[in-house]
Amino acid sequence: MGHVVGAPRTPRGRWIEEGLQVLAEGGPDAVRIEALAKRIGVTKGGFYGYFADRGALLEAMLDAWERESIDEVLDRVEREGGDPKTKIQRAGALTFSNDRLLPIDLAIRDWARRDEAVAERLRRVDNGRMALLRQMIGTFCSDADEVEARSLLAFCVAIGENFLAADHGGRTRAEVLARAADLLLNRPARPRVKREEPRPREA
C-alpha cells in the first residue's frame, strides 16, 4: 500500500520558537502542547514526532536560548569586529536591547527563581556573559578587582534598567545609559545635544 502524503510536518524548530514566544508572554506555565498546536495551526499529534513530552520541549527551548544568548552573540560580535569597547556594547545590544531575546531572557530569570535546574542554566549563561565582559574590560583596565566591579555594574545596568521606572531630570533614559556606558568603558563624555524648544507657530 502506497504512502499517503499528508500536510508537511511542522519543523521541530517551529515548536521551540513558538514555545519561547509563549514563555516570554506568559511564563513557563503557559507553555502547553495543545495551546502551541493551536497557535501554530496544527494538531498536537505532530509534537510527539519530535518530543517525548512537554519536559523535553522545555529542555529544547532552554538549549536554544542558551545557544542564541552565548554562542550566536559571541560569533556575531567576533565576525563584526571592532575594538573591545565596541564589542562589549554590541554584545549588550544583541542581548538586552533585542526585542526578541530580551523578553525571553527576563522570563527565564523569573522562571529560575522557582526552578533549580533553570537557575543552574541561567548561571551558566550569565557566567559566559561575565567572562566576555571581564575579557573585554581587562584590555583597558589592569586591576582585577576593578575589572570585576565594572563587569558587574555593566551587567546590572543592562538588566536592571528594564525594571526601572525612574525619571532622569530632563535627560532621556538613552542619554543616561550612554553616559553610564562611557563611565564603565572609561571613555570621555560625549557632548550632550541640547534640544531646542519648538518655536510657536505664527498665525
Q: Give CA–CA dist 93/155, Å, rounded.
A: 12
pLDDT at res. 194? 62
pLDDT at res. 193? 65
**Cell 586591576, residue located:** 143
pLDDT at res. 6? 45
> Does residue 56 contact residue 64 with C-beta atoms inside 8 Å?
no
Phi and psi at 189, nearest 5°, equal -65, 140
**Residues of the chain under the 70 pLDDT cut:** 1-9, 192-203
Structural domains for the chain: 62-184 (1.10.357)
The cell for 79 is: 565576525
pLDDT at res. 190? 75
pLDDT at res. 186? 87
> Does residue 137 contact residue 151 with C-beta atoms inside 8 Å?
yes
> Does residue 176 contact residue 168 with C-beta atoms inside 8 Å?
yes
The model's pLDDT over 66-100, given as tens digits with 9 standing for 90+, comes to 999 999 999 999 999 899 999 998 998 888 877 88
